[in-house]
Structure 1
C-alpha cells in the first residue's frame, strides 16, 4: 500500500519556489498599495470568457489574469493588483471598500469565485486557490491557510446576499 501511494499521490509542491513567490508577491503589493503591509495577501485569478458561434462551430476562449488580492479586516477593504504569473510586473491597484460596493457574493458554479459589483454596470470575479500546478497561467504558491482566511473574511464582511 505504501508503494502504491508513493507512485499515485500526485505532484509535489516546491516549497522553496512557493516561498520565493510569496516574498515577490508581498514586495509587489507593498510597492503598488499605500500601507500595503496592513493587508493580508493571497494569489488569485480572474477569467474572461468570450464565446463564439460560427454557424456549425460553437465554442469559447478563456483569458486568465493573475491577481494579488489583499484584504484589511479593519477597513473592510479588498485591493486587487493585476500581475503576471511570474510576478515580474504589477499594474495599478483597484480598491473595493465594503461601504462603496453595490453587492457581493460567492458563486460556486461553474467555478468557485467571489463576485464583487462595485456598481450596477461592472463586476470582478476573484478566484482564490490553495495551489495550482500550472505556473504558466497561475502564480505558483501554496496558500491553503490564506485561501481559508480570505473566504472567511469575504463571507463575514463582504457578502451582501
Structure 2
C-alpha cells in the first residue's frame, strides 16, 4: 500500500504542477507574496464544465464514479482530545464539488494521514478504491486540458 500511495501522490503532484503551469488562474496565489499556495479546484471545475458538462457526463464509464457517489471522510478533532473520521455526506452535484471536496479530500487524506493508525470499519478496503478512482480522475483532468502526455513526464531535478 505504501508504494501505491507514493505513486498516487507523485501522479497528483505532476498533475497539480501541470495545471498551474498551464494556466496560472488554476492556482491559489498569495496576493501579497505571489507564492502559489495550492490549487483552485473551483476554477478547474469551471473549466471542466465548459468542456464536459457535469449534468450529462457519463460517470458510469469514467472510472471515477465513486467520487460522485460518495466523498472521502474528513479527519476531525474530538471534543476533549483525540481524532476521528467522519463524513458530511454532501451531494456531489458539480465539478467544483467533485474536485474541491471529493478529490481534494482524498489527496489530503493520502498526503497527510495514515488510516491504518486510526482505523474505522467504514474505511476498510476503500483506500484502494479511492486511489484507483483518483488515478482515473487525474488522467481525465490532464486529458481534458492537454492533447498529449507531456504532463506526466518523469520528474527531473538538475
TM range (shorter): under 0.3
Taking CA–CA contacts closer than 8 Å with sequence separation of 6 or more, which of the two structures ends up with the larger relative contact order? 2
TM-score by length of 2: 0.27
TM-score by length of 1: 0.27
Structure 1 or 2: larger strand share? 1
Report the structure number with the largest CA radius of gyration.
1
Structure 1 or 2: larger helix share? 2
